[in-house]
Amino acid sequence: MSTDRDLLLRRLLGPAGPELTCEQCFDELDRYVDLEVRHDAAHADRAVPGMRAHLEGCQACHEDHESLRALVRDTGA
Amino acid sequence: MPVPVPSRPARTLDPESTGWLESLHADGPVREAAIAELHALLLRAARFEVARRRRSMGGGWDGDDLDDLALQSADDALVAVLAKLEQFRGQSRFTTWAFKFALLEASVKMRRRPWQGRELPLEPQGWPTIADRLASPAADAEQAELLSAVRRAIDDELTPHQREVLVAVALNDVPIDVLAERLGSTRGALYKTIHDARGKLRRRLEADGHTLAPATRGGS
Residue B192 in this model has a pLDDT that exceeds 50: yes
User: In which region does residue A76 sit, left (phi positive, over 0), alpha (psi from -120 to 50) or beta (all else)?
Assistant: left
B3, B97, B103 ranked by CB distance to A19: nearest: B3
Q: Does A65 fall in a domain?
A: yes
Domain tally, chain A: 1
Kindly report the pTM of this predicted structure. Answer: 0.88
**Residues 6 or more apart whose Cβ sits within 8 Å of residue B217:** A10, A11, A15, A55, A56, A57, A62
Cβ within 8 Å, pair A17-B215: yes
Residue B141 in this model has a pLDDT that exceeds 60: yes
Residue B35 in this model has a pLDDT that exceeds 70: yes
Flag whether residue B112 sits within 8 Å of chain A, measured between CB atoms: no
Q: Does A49 fall in a domain?
A: yes
Q: What is the DSSP letter of B209?
A: T
Better-predicted residue by pLDDT, B144 or B104 = B104
Residue B181 has a pLDDT of 95
Residue B65 in this model has a pLDDT that exceeds 80: yes
* pLDDT band at residue B133 using 50, 70 and 90 as cut-offs: low
List domains and CATH numbers for chain B. Answer: 15-115 (1.10.1740), 137-207 (1.10.10.10)
- The domain of A47 spans 18-75
Q: How far is B93 from chain A (nearest CA, A)?
A: 7
Flag whether residue B80 sits within 8 Å of chain A, measured between CB atoms: no
Q: How far is B193 from chain A (nearest CA, A)?
A: 11
Residue A1 in this model has a pLDDT that exceeds 50: no
B52, B92, B166 ranked by CB distance to A30: nearest: B92
What is the dihedral sign for C-alpha B69, B71, B74, B78?
A: negative
Angle in degrees, 0-180, between the axes of helices B94-112 and B28-57, rounded to the nearest 10: 50
Q: Does A8 fall in a domain?
A: no
Chain A positions touching B52 (Cβ under 8 A) are: 67, 70
Residue A3 has a pLDDT of 66
Whether the CB-CB separation of B167 and B211 falls below 8 Å is answered with no
Better-predicted residue by pLDDT, A72 or B57 = A72
CA distance linking residue A61 with residue B57, whole number of Å: 18
Cβ within 8 Å, pair A16-B91: no
Q: What is the DSSP letter of B2?
A: P
* pLDDT band at residue B140 using 50, 70 and 90 as cut-offs: confident
ipTM of the complex: 0.93
Residue B32 has a pLDDT of 97
Q: What is the pLDDT of residues A4-32, one digit of tens each?
A: 788 889 999 999 889 999 999 999 999 99
Q: Does A54 fall in a domain?
A: yes
A8, A48, A59 ranked by CB distance to B220: nearest: A59
Residue B143 in this model has a pLDDT that exceeds 90: no
Residues in chain A: 77
Cβ within 8 Å, pair B218-A10: yes
Q: Does A37 fall in a domain?
A: yes
Q: Does A10 fall in a domain?
A: no
Q: In terms of CA atoms, which chain A residue is nearest residue B200?
A: A13
Q: What is the pLDDT of residues A29-69, one digit of tens each?
A: 999 999 999 999 999 999 999 999 999 999 999 999 999 99
Residue B118 has a pLDDT of 87
Question: Helices marked H in chain B — which ranges?
Answer: 15-24, 28-57, 63-83, 94-112, 137-157, 160-166, 176-183, 187-207
Cβ within 8 Å, pair A13-B192: no
Q: How far is B28 from chain A (nearest CA, A)?
A: 27
* pLDDT band at residue A77 using 50, 70 and 90 as cut-offs: low
A16, A68, A75 ranked by CB distance to B100: nearest: A68
Residue B8 in this model has a pLDDT that exceeds 70: no
Residue B94 in this model has a pLDDT that exceeds 50: yes
Q: Does A41 fall in a domain?
A: yes
Residue B145 has a pLDDT of 87
Q: Does A1 fall in a domain?
A: no
Flag whether residue B1 sits within 8 Å of chain A, measured between CB atoms: yes
Chain B positions touching A34 (Cβ under 8 A) are: 91-93, 96
Residue B43 has a pLDDT of 98
Cβ within 8 Å, pair B150-A13: yes
Helix (H) or strand (E) holding A28: helix A22-38
